[in-house]
Amino acid sequence: MRLRLIRHATLLVGLAGRRLLVDPMLDPQGRRPPVAGTPDERRNPLCELPEPAEVVVSRLDAVLVTHLHPDHLDDTAVDLLPKDLPLLCQPADEGVLRDRGFADVRPVGAALDWDGVAVARTGGRHGTGAIGDAMAPVSGFVLAAPAEPVLYLAGDTVWCDEVRAALDRHRPDVVVVNAGGARFTEGDPITMTARDVLAVARHAPAAAVVAVHLEAVNHCLQTRADLRRHVHADGLEDRVSVPEDGALVPLPQD
């Protein structure tokens, strides 16, 4: 398996000889307005891609979109992605994706087979209380192939019973969590804080945890440096990585 962070939650996954793009946010820096109701008024995305968007979408075998918020599928991605690529998604998003021109949309109910790769969908909570309800639906996904590490993409969720259940059921070797402590001026965080990331690592002591979703959208307030300080204080540097944009993520078999 190869795992490379492009930016935010956009990942390139190499698995079983296939190349999968996850949650493509490919707009140029500053294309979209800031997320409303947050203390940071900078336009999004906050930073440029590490390489041209046209390069990111080249040589793909499939795309996985965890949910339809624009920081996980934006207009540039919709314009550039080949419309005949298999596109894996949560069932609630199938109609919208077909309306946006994608011809091979494959909603994942509980699970499906993608050319020999087992794909399972998991639950999550994109925040707490009324805000979490308003941000739904969101999903995580588990990818498993023979002779490959099991990969769990938790999606936009906080630490919750659904994440705990996914870790217990699937026993992933690699867990990608969306961190940054995204939040509005009112209410609790809607993605994982440092405390949540560490809770994942403690609950799955055999897994490598990769924290992404940082420093690219204005309502993600926790920085990489702050998260790394918490990881260091807990002595988990060997198990929790916080990659920079464009970086190849070291995985257990490396």
**Residue 249 forms part of a structural domain:** no
Tell me the CB-side half-sphere exposure of residue 181, using CA atoms within 13 A: 14
What average pLDDT does the segment 72-86 reach?
98
How many domains, in total, are found in the chain?
Answer: 1
**Domain interval for residue 57:** 2-241
**Residue 144 forms part of a structural domain:** yes
Q: What is the pLDDT of residue 250?
A: 87
**Residue 131 forms part of a structural domain:** yes
Q: Using one digit for the tens of pLDDT, what is the confidence trace for 161-202?
A: 999 999 999 999 999 999 999 999 999 999 999 999 999 999
Q: Using one digit for the tens of pLDDT, what is the confidence trace for 192-211?
A: 999 999 999 999 999 999 99
Q: Order of strands across the sheet with 111-114? A: 111-114, 117-122, 140-144, 151-153, 174-178, 208-212, 240-241
Return the CATH number at 36. 3.60.15.10
**Residue 252 forms part of a structural domain:** no
- What SS3 state is found at 214? coil
Encoded amino acid at 196, one letter:
D
Q: Using one digit for the tens of pLDDT, what is the confidence trace for 22-78?
A: 999 999 999 999 999 998 999 999 999 999 999 999 999 999 999 999 999 999 999
Conformational region of residue 250, where left means phi above 0, alpha means psi within -120 to 50, and beta covers everything else: beta
Residue 254 predicted with pLDDT over 70:
no
